[in-house]
């Protein structure tokens, strides 16, 4: 891990940054870089993000006009639209030798975007949601980040990625080197198999087992969904050790016995298959094909989820727990 004291170069000093996108990450990174003394402008289309950037005191332009001025272009639009935005508004307007930055390697790794050979292509990927990055920066700290590069035209791409991370406050918490391939593979794998896909499927299945056995849906919700945050917070604070120390011996013993039966060899094989389909581009093609077909599959999956009994029971119970709304403060989606 690298920290502030380890980042001593100054290749980004005096450079103009254009942030393309002003959602949760764009807002956080742009404000953090500006507060660190960098010259920052915003490139977005007219709408909510444009107005928000204006209110925050930035000079705001169309994407094309922002890119024309920039020495560093940080692309923070959603994965599915990045290639279109790049081809239509970024690529034709890039300065010769401009540095191009990303916080996720998806489009470069899968060659949806092919940068010009004279550009450094760097990554600065905070390991936390945008609003948390902003809050911790203002508190004098930060969240850890990954740094690295895909293309080193200048010979200084790695240093630029570290400087970018330092300007975002991430070097206060720690920087870890990565590659576009590694970050993309691990990020997609974690989301699909553990953090989102795995966890939601586990919760949904546990809810079904309890309700189909005749137990109250409300009780089932509290047992397998609501309490998940409590357990995850303990793991976040001190790993499995703290989680087990703060729970009963009964629960600890039972988890050692039953956990590997639920998430066992078959689950591992499914995860290995999922990783292979990330590595060979199968998932990326499926995702982009669905986007180009109007996201028919995604919207169908989303509608099914919203109509599930678990979601409806949870909505009713959360409406009676106003303290839960505080959790939204640091998880605002990209605008």
Query: What are the structural domains of the chain?
Result: 16-178 (3.40.50.720), 196-263+295-327 (no CATH)
Bridge partners of 7? none
Burial of 196 (0-12, 13-18, 19+ CB in 10 A): exposed
Has 187 been labeled as part of a binding site? yes
How many whole angstroms separate alpha carbon 166 and alpha carbon 172?
A: 7
Alpha helices (H) along 36-151: 48-55, 63-69, 79-85, 106-109, 130-138
Structure tokens at 30: 């742009």
Has 253 been labeled as part of a binding site? no
Has 191 been labeled as part of a binding site? yes
Has 22 been labeled as part of a binding site? yes
**DSSP letter at 117?**
T
How many whole angstroms separate alpha carbon 151 and alpha carbon 89?
A: 21
Has 163 been labeled as part of a binding site? no
Structure tokens at 17: 């940054």
How many whole angstroms separate alpha carbon 189 and alpha carbon 271?
A: 8
Structure tokens at 313: 């029971």
Has 119 been labeled as part of a binding site? no
How many whole angstroms separate alpha carbon 153 and alpha carbon 121?
A: 8
10-residue mean pLDDT profile of the chain (335 residues): values are: 96 97 94 97 94 96 98 97 97 97 97 97 94 95 96 98 97 97 96 96 97 97 95 95 96 96 96 97 97 97 96 94 64 40
How many whole angstroms separate alpha carbon 196 and alpha carbon 128?
A: 15
Has 23 been labeled as part of a binding site? yes
Buried b vs exposed e over 245-267: b needs ≥16 C-beta within 10 Å?
eeeeeeeeeebeeeeeeeeeeee
Task: Give me the catalytic one of 27, 104, 156, 226.
Answer: 104
**DSSP letter at 170?**
G
Total-model pTM: 0.90
Residue 82's SS3 state is helix
Has 308 been labeled as part of a binding site? no
How many whole angstroms separate alpha carbon 63 and alpha carbon 90?
A: 7
Q: Give yes or no: 27 in active site.
A: no
DSSP string, 180-235: HHHHHHHHHHIIIIIITHHHHHHHHHHHHHHHHTT--HHHHHIIIIIHHHHHHHHH
Has 65 been labeled as part of a binding site? no
Is residue 27 within 8 Å of 137, Cβ to Cβ? Answer: no
């Amino acid at each position: 891990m690298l920290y502030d004291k380890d980042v001593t170069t100054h290749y980004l000093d005096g450079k103009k940054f254009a942030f393309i996108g002003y959602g949760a990450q764009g807002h956080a990174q742009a404000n953090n870089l500006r507060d660190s003394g960098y010259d920052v402008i915003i490139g977005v289309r007219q709408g909510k993000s444009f107005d928000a950037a204006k209110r925050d005191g930035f000079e705001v332009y169309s994407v094309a006009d922002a890119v024309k001025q920039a020495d560093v272009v940080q692309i923070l639009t959603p994965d599915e639209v990045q290639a279109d935005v790049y081809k239509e508004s970024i690529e034709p307007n890039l300065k010769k030798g401009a540095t191009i930055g990303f916080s996720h390697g998806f489009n470069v790794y899968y060659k949806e975007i092919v940068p010009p050979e004279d550009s450094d292509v760097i990554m600065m990927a905070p390991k936390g949601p945008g609003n948390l990055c902003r809050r911790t920066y203002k508190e004098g700290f930060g969240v850890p980040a990954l740094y690295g590069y895909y293309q080193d035209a200048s010979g200084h791409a790695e240093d630029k990625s570290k400087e970018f991370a330092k300007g975002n406050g991430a070097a206060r918490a720690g920087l870890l080197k990565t590659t576009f391939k590694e970050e993309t593979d691990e990020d997609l794998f974690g989301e699909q198999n553990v953090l989102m896909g795995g966890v939601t499927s586990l919760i949904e299945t546990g809810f079904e087992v309890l309700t189909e056995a005749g137990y109250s849906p409300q009780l089932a919700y509290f047992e397998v969904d609501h309490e998940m945050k409590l357990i995850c917070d303990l793991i976040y604070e001190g790993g499995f050790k703290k989680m087990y120390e703060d729970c009963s011996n009964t629960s600890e013993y039972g988890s050692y016995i039953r956990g590997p039966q639920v998430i066992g060899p078959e689950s591992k094989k499914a995860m290995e298959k999922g990783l292979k389909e990330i590595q060979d581009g199968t998932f990326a093609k499926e995702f982009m094909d669905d986007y180009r077909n109007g996201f028919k599959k995604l919207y169908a999956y989303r509608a099914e989820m919203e109509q599930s009994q678990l979601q409806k029971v949870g909505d009713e119970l959360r409406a009676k727990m106003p303290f839960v709304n505080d959790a939204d403060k640091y998880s605002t989606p990209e605008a």
